[in-house]
Chains A and B, each alone.
Chain A
Amino acid sequence: MGVALRDIIIEYKKPIAWEGLAGIAAVDAHNALYQFLSIIRQPDGTPLMDSHGRITSHLSGILFRTLNFLEMGIRSVYVFDGEPPHFKQGTIETRRGQRIAAKERWQEALEKGEIGEAYKHARSSARVDAAVIDSSWQLLHLLGVPSVQAPSEGEAQAAFMAQIGDVQYSVSQDYDSLLFGSPVLARNLTVSGKRKVRGRTISINPERIILKEVLNGLSITREQLVEIALLVGTDFNEGVHGIGAKTALKIVKRREFGATLEKELPDFDPVPIMNFFLQPPVNTDYKLSWTPPDREGIRRMLCDQYEFSPERIDSALDKLATTSGQKTLDRWF
């Protein structure tokens, strides 16, 4: 997923304390929902579900992340993907294949009683489908958190909102946000501060990447950053086999992007994708307003419809009622 720019960006990924993130954040909804669906699972990989078999992991994730954000003085806006560009079709097909294969391996591992393996494959089988998106919109509305529908890629919309100052930064795990021109990208904003990476649980802390620092530091323009991404491979193109971010940086700085593509991928026309990153379709007709949470509505949805424990939800709602800008005592114990 996303683009493998880590090797050249690592120096510009700066740890940041939660306090430094207070403000308005545009959250890449698809990215966040995928994280919830893949992480919030039982040890054998079964996601949280109600008695009708409807997945509820994402609802739990949205509720508790919203709470955590409010406590840290962060107001969020969820930005949802619209129609994917036609050149993303390949990635979509590949991911569908990977999901189906992961689901089969999950079942096999369960049959063999290999719980750890089952969990690993179950995570890769997570899918953000229409039911997940609809119920997420519904819950965000009840929480009083605004949602914005992007015409195409959510990250592009979030980047645009950060560029014009409607939000202070975008939140995504993918570096594509930088290609779309987000001036500030925040990563690793999880509630638990932990993430599973290749089967191991590691502690992670919020980090911030400032686009200007990346471009100035590497002495490149945003257009050149996009060129690097195209050589490495993005969600929209496969990239050149054997070229990683460091090599791509050298090629682009030597102004050999065109020549390299011509030689390695003579049939590939980079222009539509370049344009898509640099001038993506965005929605300018949106309104951001935060309203108090609808306590009864949330209870009806989560407890009556989706069978969450009323005690758990009430406790979260109590917290929600008080946490808008309210710190908790945790940090002083």
Chain B
Amino acid sequence: MLKATIDADIFRESIDAIAALVTECRMHVEPDRLYTRAVDTANVAMVSLQVKKEAFETYQATKEELGLDIAKLKNMLGMMGKGDKLDLSLPEGGHRMEIAFNRYRYALTLLDVNTIRKDPNPPTIELPGKVILTGEALQAAIKAASMVSDKIALGIDPDNKFFYMVAEGDTDHIRLELGQSEVESLTLVEVRSLFSLDYLKDMGRVMGKAEKVEIHLGVNHPVKFSFDFADRNGHIDYLLAPRIEAE
């Protein structure tokens, strides 16, 4: 059972975060939160999202697992106005969730959870490098890199004390260095990994709205982007596998 009211913007942010990687997911409903963890079809990137009870204006729920068609929900978001309130309601064991907003009552048929990929296990990765910067700066860097290449290297240079992003195209090259005074926090440890901008562009659109994004890095390891939304009552982690650096 779920009966809740939420601000349309918070709902939009949650769905956008998931839609950046997958078109459907298993959403776990619990008495004090909603959460999902899903991996894209290519097994390259993962999203973990949690929205606490406090992010909602009203929230009542019992434990349930819902199969959500994220692509459909994303289309529906277009019909919502800024500041709209959304009423979500699902009876115990129900197969359709009712989403009411701005005089619309939308009945969303839930997917059979057994047809959706199981939640991946939480990965166990040691990522020693950490930098915190604004979502806006991160998104701008991703955009700049995608003008010259389809991949970007992220790393920390502990000797020169900066975090860097480098994109090398066939003919052009772009590099951004941010020193300790230009970022919120920087762990000085040597790390570097290369990533696909195809994924980062989609994630960047979501991360661009975050006040701060924690970036966790290793050597030829996945990158983890960690950030809050909904006044810290919502939290998103993205994990992206690295590309192999050309010799």
Q: Which residues of A contact B (CB under 8 A)?
A: 22, 73, 314-315, 318-319, 321-323, 325-330, 332-333
Chain B 173-198 interface residues, beta-carbon cutoff 8 Å to A = 196, 198
Q: Which of B8-16, B39-47, B99-107 contacts A (4 or more CB under 8 A)?
A: B39-47
Q: Which of B63-71, B116-124, B137-145 contacts A (4 or more CB under 8 A)?
A: B116-124
Find chain A residues with CB under 8 A from B243 CB. Answer: 325-327
Known: A326-B244, A327-B242. 19 other contacts (CB 8 A): A73-B244, A318-B40, A318-B41, A318-B42, A319-B42, A321-B42, A322-B196, A322-B198, A323-B44, A325-B244, A326-B196, A326-B241, A327-B244, A328-B42, A328-B44, A329-B44, A329-B46, A332-B221, A333-B121
Kindly supply a per-residue 1/0 record for chain B positions 189-226, scoring 1 wherever the CB is within 8 Å of any chain A CB and 0 otherwise: 00000001011000000000000000000000110000
Closest Cβ of chain A to B124, distance in Å, is: 7
- Residue contact B246 to A329, C-beta cutoff 8 Å: no
Find chain B residues with CB under 8 A from A322 CB. Answer: 42, 44, 196, 198-199
Does residue B113 face the partner (Cβ distance < 8 Å to A)?
no
Distance, CA A73 to CA B42, complexed state (A): 15
Q: How many A-B residue pairs have CB under 8 A?
A: 57
**Which among B42, B45, B125 is the interface contact of A323 at CB below 8 angstroms?**
B42
- Residue contact A315 to B41, C-beta cutoff 8 Å: yes
Find chain B residues with CB under 8 A from A315 CB. Answer: 41
Does residue B239 face the partner (Cβ distance < 8 Å to A)?
yes
- What is the chain B residue whose CB lies nearest that of A320? B42
Find chain A residues with CB under 8 A from B39 CB. Answer: 329
- Residue contact B241 to A328, C-beta cutoff 8 Å: yes
Closest Cβ of chain A to B118, distance in Å, is: 11
- Residue contact B196 to A329, C-beta cutoff 8 Å: no
Distance, CA A73 to CA B220, complexed state (A): 14
- Residue contact A329 to B120, C-beta cutoff 8 Å: yes
Closest Cβ of chain A to B219, distance in Å, is: 13
Find chain B residues with CB under 8 A from A325 CB. Answer: 243-244, 246
A73, A328, A329, A330: residue with the most chain B Cβ atoms closer than 10 Å: A329
Distance, CA A204 to CA B206, complexed state (A): 43
Distance, CA A319 to CA B199, complexed state (A): 12
- Residue contact A329 to B244, C-beta cutoff 8 Å: no
**Which among A22, A327, A332 is the interface contact of B125 at CB below 8 angstroms?**
A332
Closest Cβ of chain B to A293, distance in Å, is: 13
Closest Cβ of chain A to B69, distance in Å, is: 15
Find chain A residues with CB under 8 A from B244 CB. Answer: 22, 73, 325-327
- What is the chain B residue whose CB lies nearest that of A328? B43
12 sample A-B contacts, Cβ–Cβ < 8 Å, listed by A number: A318-B40, A319-B41, A321-B42, A322-B198, A326-B44, A326-B196, A328-B44, A329-B39, A329-B123, A329-B241, A332-B241, A333-B123
Chain B 82-138 interface residues, beta-carbon cutoff 8 Å to A = 120-121, 123-125
Closest Cβ of chain B to A66, distance in Å, is: 14
Kindly supply a per-residue 1/0 record for chain B positions 28-62, scoring 1 wherever the CB is within 8 Å of any chain A CB and 0 otherwise: 00000000000111111110000000000000000
Closest Cβ of chain B to A7, distance in Å, is: 37
- Residue contact A329 to B124, C-beta cutoff 8 Å: no
Find chain A residues with CB under 8 A from B221 CB. Answer: 332
- What is the chain B residue whose CB lies nearest that of A327? B241
- Residue contact A329 to B242, C-beta cutoff 8 Å: no
- Residue contact B43 to A319, C-beta cutoff 8 Å: yes
Closest Cβ of chain B to A148, distance in Å, is: 24
- 4 closest A-B pairs (Cβ-Cβ)? A328-B43, A319-B42, A325-B244, A73-B244
- Residue contact B44 to A332, C-beta cutoff 8 Å: no
- Residue contact B239 to A329, C-beta cutoff 8 Å: yes
Find chain A residues with CB under 8 A from B43 CB. Answer: 319, 328-330
Given A325-B243, A325-B244, CB of A332 within 8 Å of CB of B123: yes
Distance, CA A328 to CA B242, complexed state (A): 8
Closest Cβ of chain B to A75, distance in Å, is: 12
Distance, CA A318 to CA B196, complexed state (A): 14
Find chain A residues with CB under 8 A from B40 CB. Answer: 318
Closest Cβ of chain A to B112, distance in Å, is: 14
Distance, CA A323 to CA B243, complexed state (A): 8
Distance, CA A297 to CA B124, complexed state (A): 39
Find chain A residues with CB under 8 A from B123 CB. Answer: 329, 332-333
Given A325-B243, A325-B244, A328-B241, CB of A333 within 8 Å of CB of B120: yes
Find chain A residues with CB under 8 A from B196 CB. Answer: 322, 326
Distance, CA A160 to CA B89, complexed state (A): 68
- What is the chain B residue whose CB lies nearest that of A315? B41
- What is the chain A residue whose CB lies nearest that of B195? A326
Given A22-B244, A322-B196, CB of A329 within 8 Å of CB of B41: no
Find chain A residues with CB under 8 A from B45 CB. Answer: 329
Find chain B residues with CB under 8 A from A328 CB. Answer: 42-44, 241
- What is the chain A residue whose CB lies nearest that of B239? A329
Find chain B residues with CB under 8 A from A330 CB. Answer: 43
Find chain A residues with CB under 8 A from B125 CB. Answer: 332
Find chain A residues with CB under 8 A from B44 CB. Answer: 322-323, 326-329
Distance, CA A22 to CA B243, complexed state (A): 13
Find chain B residues with CB under 8 A from A314 CB. Answer: 41
Distance, CA A73 to CA B243, complexed state (A): 9
- What is the chain B residue whose CB lies nearest that of A67? B42
